[in-house]
Structure 1
Amino acid sequence: MNPVTGQAISARDRMKEIVAAAKLADEAGIDLFGVGEHHRLDFVLTSPPVVLAAIAQATKRIRLTSATTVLGTSDPVRVFEDFATLDLLSDGRAEIIAGRGAYVESFPLFGYELSEYKQLFNEKIKLLLELGEADKTTWSGSYRSALLDAEISPRPLQPRLPVWVGVGGTPQSAELAGTLGTGMALAILGGDPSYFKPLVDVYRSAGMQAGHNQKSLKVAITSHGYIASTTQQAKDEYYPYYAYYLENFMGGNARGEQLTRERFEQLASPINALAVGSPEQIIEKILAQHEIFGHHRFMAQFDIGGIPFSKVATSIELLATKVAPVVRREIRNATMKPAHQHK
C-alpha cells in the first residue's frame, strides 16, 4: 500500500511494474536486476525464477538474479533446475543469491524448523554448488533424500551458474561464503559502512585459506536507496515510504517504534550507508565504500514501502545515466594508476 495516498495496487499490476522496472533498467544500461522471495500477502513475489523468466523475455542484456533465494526452505535440486532453465531462456544471464532472507514465514510454510536454519543452509548450499559440477550427482545428507548418479537437467548455458551467499552481518556467514568460494552479497542497510569491513576481511581470508583465487572472491554491497535531483528532494520524497517500510515490515510496530525524521536524517547522512540523495551524493557514497571494501558490485533496492513506480523509475534512470558512468570511470581510472601513485 502507498502510505501517502492510502491506495493499494493489485497483484497483477504489481507484477507488471516489476517487469517494467527491469525493462527500464535494461534499456538504461544497468548491469543487474534482482527480485526477492517472500511468502506473505503484502509481497507479491514468491517465485524469483518464474518472474525472472518473464523478465528475460522483455530484456536483452541485463543480468538476472534472485535477491535472495531462501535456500534453507527450498530444494537445491529444484532451485538449480529452475535457474538453469532461466539461464537458457535468458541466453546465459542467470545468477543466484542464496540466503536466509529478511523474513522467516517460509520455514513453517514448507515444514522446516527455524532452529535448524544453520544446518539446513550449510547442507543445501554445498549441494547446490555440487550440482553445478557435473551432469550427474551422487550425494547424501540429512535434510533431503540421497542422490545416486542422478541426472540434473537442464544444464545451464553458462559453464557455471554464478552463486552468491547473502550475508546480513554474521562472521560465520561471511566465512562460509569464503570457504565455499562463492560471491558474497553483503547487505548494509544502515550505519557506518566501515563497521562491516571485518566481514569482508573474514570472507577473503577464509577464501584464500580454502585455496580459492583472490580474483574469484567477489563482493557485492547491497543497500536501500532513492535518488532525486537534489539530496533534499530525495530525503523529503523517500522518508514517508522508508518510515512505513521499517515500521510495518521490519518489526518497528511490534516494538512500538517509529522512524523519526531526525533518525532518518542520520541514516541518510553522507557518512552512513543508506543510499538516499542526489546523484552526486550517491556517487560519493559508492566510491567511499569502494575505498573500504574494494567491492565488485553495488546493488540498490529502490522499491520498498509502497513507493510509486514513477519514483522507482526516476531512481533507475538517475542511477544509470548520472551515477553509474561516473563510478565506473573513477574506479577504472584508480585501478589503472601506477602502484607508486596509490597512497
Structure 2
Amino acid sequence: MKIELGISTFGETTVMEDGTKLSHDQRIRNMIEEVELADKVGLDIYAVGEHHRDDFAVSSPEMILAAAAVKTKHIKLSSAVTVLSSNDPVRVYQNFSHVDALSSGRAEIMVGRGSFIESFPLFGYDLRHYDELFSEKLDMLLKIKENEVLTWRGKHTQSVNARPVYPRALDLPIWVATGGNPESTINIAKRGLPIVYAIIGGNPNYFTRLVELYKRVGEESGFKKEDLKVGVHSWGYVARDNEEAIKDYFHPTKALQDRIAQDRATWAPLSYQHYLNMVGEYGAMFVGSPEKVAQKLIRVMEEVGIDRFMLHLPVGSIPHEKTLEAIRLFGEEVAPIVRAHFENK
C-alpha cells in the first residue's frame, strides 16, 4: 500500500508564549527553511494554505511554493487550500503551472470553499453564492486542465470563447478539501477527484463512514477504487519526549483556537482538559514522541482508510527552532515506522 506523509501549514503568526509575535515577512522566510528541511528528511508533500487575516501570513500559496520549488528536489508542493470560490480559475491554473515548471512537475492544487470567509468581500463576491461559486469554478478549473483552448459559458465567472490558457502544466493533480460534509463528499466522489478531510476535532473515526461513502459513490460513478485517494490533515507536534511534546503544544493550540473563537460563535476558548482529550488516544491531534505519534497515525490511517496524511505544523506559536526539530523527527523517525507498517499491506 502506497501512503504519503507530509506537512501542511497556514503560516500562523499568533502570539508566542513570551508575548512576542512574528511579523508576516519573518514567518514567510521561516516557511522556506521548513519546506527545505521537509524535503531533506524525505517527506512526500508540503502544503500551504491561503488566508487573508492578521493571524496568518500567507495570502498567496503559489508564491511560497514557487520559492520552495527552486529550493527543493523531491517533495510535492501543494496549496491547502486555494480558496477557489474567490479566485479566478484561469489565474489559479496559470500560477500553479509556473510552480509546476519550476519544480519539474511536483506541483499540485488543493482547492476548497474556504472555512474562513474574509476573501469573499475582499474580492467582491457574494456569500449568498457560496456553494454555486465553488462548483462552477471547480468545473471551469477542470476544463482548463483538460483543454489547452478554453471555451466556457459562465454564470458567476467570465465567459471565454476559444482562448488558449498558458503555460501548460506537466500534470498538476487537483485535490478537493472538505471539513466533513456528506454532500461535499458525494460531489467530490462523483467527479472522481482525490479528497482531503480536515480533521481538527472529535474522534477521527467519525470520518470512516464518510470515506466509505466517498469510495462507494466514486465507484458507482465509474471510477476505479484505487484512483479514489483520501487525504487528511490534522494538527500535531512531535518532540523527543512525549510529555514535553504535550506540554509545549498547549499554548500554541490555545492561542490559535482562542483567536478564532473571537470571530466564531461555534468555537470556544480552549481549556486544558479539552486539550488533553484532543491529544489523547482517540482525539484528533497527533502530539507526542515519535513512537507515540507513529502508532496513533498507523491506527487512524488503517481504521479510517487514509492514503495521504499531512501533519499541520506549526499550528501557531511554536518557535521556529522547535518547528524544525518537529519536522526532522516526523521525517526521520515517525515516517519510517509508518511506511514500514504499510509496505506489505
Equivalent-residue separation in structure 2 for 1:256 and 1:178 (angstroms): 29
Is the CA contact (8 Å cut-off) linking 1:247 and 1:253 kept in structure 2? no
Q: Which residue of 2 aligns with 1:275?
A: 286
Equivalent-residue separation in structure 2 for 1:45 and 1:292 (angstroms): 33
- Among residues 290, 293, 298, which one is paired with 2:309 in the alignment? 298
- Among residues 256, 274, 286, which one is paired with 1:245 in the alignment? 256
Q: Secondary structure at the match of 1:222?
A: strand
The higher-RCO structure (CA 8 Å, 6+ apart) is 2
Q: Which residue of 2 aligns with 1:341?
A: none
- Among residues 5, 11, 17, which one is paired with 2:30 in the alignment? 17
Q: Which amino acid aligns with 1:309?
A: H
Q: 1:267 to 1:256 in 2, by over 3 A?
A: closer
Q: Which amino acid aligns with 1:303?
A: P
Equivalent-residue separation in structure 1 for 2:95 and 2:70 (angstroms): 16
Q: Which amino acid aligns with 1:3?
A: M
Equivalent-residue separation in structure 2 for 1:255 and 1:170 (angstroms): 16
Q: Which residue of 2 aligns with 1:138?
A: 151
- Among residues 32, 35, 38, which one is paired with 2:45 in the alignment? 32
Pairwise mapping of residues 81-230 of structure 1 onto structure 2 (< 5 A)? Answer: 81-158=94-171, 161-230=172-241
The alpha carbon displacement at 1:293 in A equals 2.5
Where do 5+ consecutive residues of structure 1 fail to align?
Answer: 336-343
Is the CA contact (8 Å cut-off) linking 2:215 and 2:228 kept in structure 1? yes
**Bigger shift: residues 205-214 or 249-258:** 249-258
Equivalent-residue separation in structure 2 for 1:252 and 1:262 (angstroms): 23
Report the RMSD for the aligned CA atoms in angstroms.
1.5
Q: Secondary structure at the match of 1:212?
A: coil
Equivalent-residue separation in structure 1 for 2:312 and 2:267 (angstroms): 25
- TM-score of the aligned structures, taking structure 2 as reference length: 0.93
The alpha carbon displacement at 1:12 in A equals 2.0
Q: Which amino acid aligns with 1:302?
A: L
Count of aligned residue pairs for this structure pair: 332
- Among residues 69, 74, 79, which one is paired with 2:92 in the alignment? 79
- TM-score of the aligned structures, taking structure 1 as reference length: 0.93
Q: 1:142 to 1:54 in 2, by over 3 A?
A: same
Is the CA contact (8 Å cut-off) linking 1:2 and 1:308 kept in structure 2? no
Q: Which amino acid aligns with 1:120?
A: L
Q: Which residue of 1 aligns with 2:269?
A: 258
Q: Which residue of 2 aligns with 1:63?
A: 76
Deviations 1:180-204 (A, max 9, x none): 1111011111221111112112211
1:308 aligned onto 2:312: no
Q: Which residue of 1 aligns with 2:9?
A: none
Is the CA contact (8 Å cut-off) linking 2:257 and 2:268 kept in structure 1? no
Where do 5+ consecutive residues of structure 2 fail to align?
Answer: 1-13
The alpha carbon displacement at 1:306 in A equals 1.9
Equivalent-residue separation in structure 1 for 2:327 and 2:207 (angstroms): 26
Deviations 1:41-90 (A, max 9, x none): 22211001111101111111111000100000001111011111110111
Q: Which residue of 1 aligns with 2:59?
A: 46
Q: Secondary structure at the match of 2:70?
A: helix
Identity across matched positions, percent: 38
Equivalent-residue separation in structure 2 for 1:42 and 1:92 (angstroms): 31
Equivalent-residue separation in structure 1 for 2:217 and 2:241 (angstroms): 41
Equivalent-residue separation in structure 2 for 1:256 and 1:123 (angstroms): 30
The alpha carbon displacement at 1:254 in A equals 5.8
Equivalent-residue separation in structure 1 for 2:270 and 2:304 (angstroms): 29
